[in-house]
């Protein structure tokens, strides 16, 4: 296992927190999956959203690897492997991206993930 400090993990979690918050805010006016595809500007929002989801997955993957799969295991109500898997799809199988799934992730799953990320940060900060 690589040596990683508490501060490094907290920085990565802050990055995830910021990306989640930004994605939710920027997709506030997206009310249906068709909104992602209805104009060139909205398609840009879709593309940027996918990129943010990719970076969230990458950060989660790094946290998981650098903590030897221990940190995230304590929060097993989140499908961490699916988050990392989405990162892999966006990175390597872009043509397989389903706009309906991206819409569901943004509207349903990210709002549920944010409090868990905040809780992990709090738990790390209060750990001896």
Residues 42-71, buried b or exposed e (16+ Cβ, 10 A)?
eeebbeebbebbbbbbbbbbbbbebbeeeb
Reported pTM? 0.92
Q: What is the pLDDT of residues 12-36, one digit of tens each?
A: 999 999 999 999 999 999 999 999 9
Domain that holds residue 15: 6-126
pLDDT the model gives residue 3? 56
Residue 1 lies inside a defined structural domain of this protein: no
Tally of structural domains, the chain: 1
Contact 117, 13 (CB under 8 A): yes
Q: What is the pLDDT of residues 37-50, one digit of tens each?
A: 999 999 999 999 99
Distance CA 63, CA 8 (A): 9
């Amino acid at each position: 296992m690589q040596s990683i400090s508490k501060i490094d993990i907290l920085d990565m979690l802050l990055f995830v927190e910021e990306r989640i918050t930004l994605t939710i805010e920027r997709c506030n006016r997206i009310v249906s999956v068709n909104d992602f595809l209805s104009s060139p500007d909205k398609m840009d929002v879709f593309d940027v959203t996918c990129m943010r989801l990719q970076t969230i997955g990458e950060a989660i993957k790094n946290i998981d690897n650098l903590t030897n799969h221990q940190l995230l295991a304590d929060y097993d109500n989140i499908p961490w492997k699916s988050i990392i898997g989405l990162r892999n799809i966006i990175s390597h199988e872009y043509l397989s991206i389903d706009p309906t799934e991206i819409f569901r992730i943004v509207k349903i799953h990210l709002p549920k993930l944010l409090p868990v990320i905040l809780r992990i940060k709090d738990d790390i900060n209060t750990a001896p």
